[in-house]
Amino acid sequence: MPKSQKWMRFAILAIGIFVTACFLVGDPVMRSYRKRDMKDAVGQQGTAEVVTLILPRVNEMGDRIPPFVSVRFRGGIYTATNAYSIDRLAPGKLAHIVYRVGRSGGVVVDSVEPSQTP
């Protein structure tokens, strides 16, 4: 076997080990960082524009897929964790949101519902 093939196999194996380690170690580290960042964040209320709205549906297995709503707020687009009264939400319209801002400045939108103002 030529020497270049051995190096190529070694490189592929090294990259595979590195990617696997990133998934096994990096994911828990990032989750704990996000949890610490949002630990003392106080819930706030605001108004945002609905960007994406995907209604709840049932997949082929009969499992219910929850609605997906993303909003534009403070110059960024954020996915809402919970959505209420989604039948009255529409892309391009304003919505009332409950959000938190972490110590790092990261925003998490906890809920979105139709705005009470016309």
- pLDDT (tens digit per residue) in 37-67: 788 888 899 999 999 999 888 888 888 888 8
Strand partners, 108: 100
pTM of the model: 0.70
Q: How far apart are CA 99 and CA 92, in angstroms?
A: 19
Q: How far apart are CA 111 and CA 80, in angstroms?
A: 6
Residues 57 and 98 placed together within one structural domain of the fold: yes
Domain containing 12: what range?
1-37
- pLDDT (tens digit per residue) in 96-111: 999 999 888 889 999 9
Q: How far apart are CA 69 and CA 91, in angstroms?
A: 9
CATH of the domain at 59: 2.40.50.140
